[in-house]
Amino acid sequence: MLQQQQTRTNSRGEAYVIGPTGAPLTLRDLPPPDTGRWVIRRKAEVVAAVRGGLLTLDEACERYSLTNEEFLAWQKSIDRHGLAGLRTTRLQQYR
């Protein structure tokens, strides 16, 4: 489960948080703003970035053309079911 975390700084002075894979995640590592296919990892990275303070909720929604409800649904799915909850093919099972 992804939890609230503090932003840290790497040796290059870039802010980072620990991403869903356990690796450091900086703004440069986030999915591109024009992402069209939202796989589990990309959704989880955006949620981790918001929870860690790399982006605000509003910045993430604007950057990725998401609604607040869509982002909050991703976050809720992670909280309830872990990363597997982000699978769109399993969405009905987790509702």
Query: How many folded domains does the chain comprise?
Result: 1
pLDDT digits (tens, 9 = 90+) for 12-40: 989 999 999 999 999 999 999 999 899 99
| Percentage of the residues of the chain whose pLDDT score is greater than 90 | 72
Whether the pLDDT of residue 91 is over 90: the answer is no
For 64, the domain range is 8-94
pLDDT at 6: 74
In a domain, 64, yes or no: yes
CATH no. for residue 57?
1.10.10.10
Burial of 48: CB neighbours in 10 Å, binned 0-12, 13-18, 19+: buried
Whether the pLDDT of residue 1 is over 50: the answer is no
What does the mean pLDDT of the chain come to? 88
What span, in angstroms and rounded, lies between the C-alpha atoms of 13 and 18? 15
In a domain, 51, yes or no: yes
In a domain, 41, yes or no: yes
Name every residue whose Cβ is closer than 8 Å to that of residue 92 and which is 6 or more positions away in sequence.
none
pLDDT digits (tens, 9 = 90+) for 29-70: 999 999 989 999 999 999 999 999 999 999 999 999 999 999
pLDDT at 4: 60
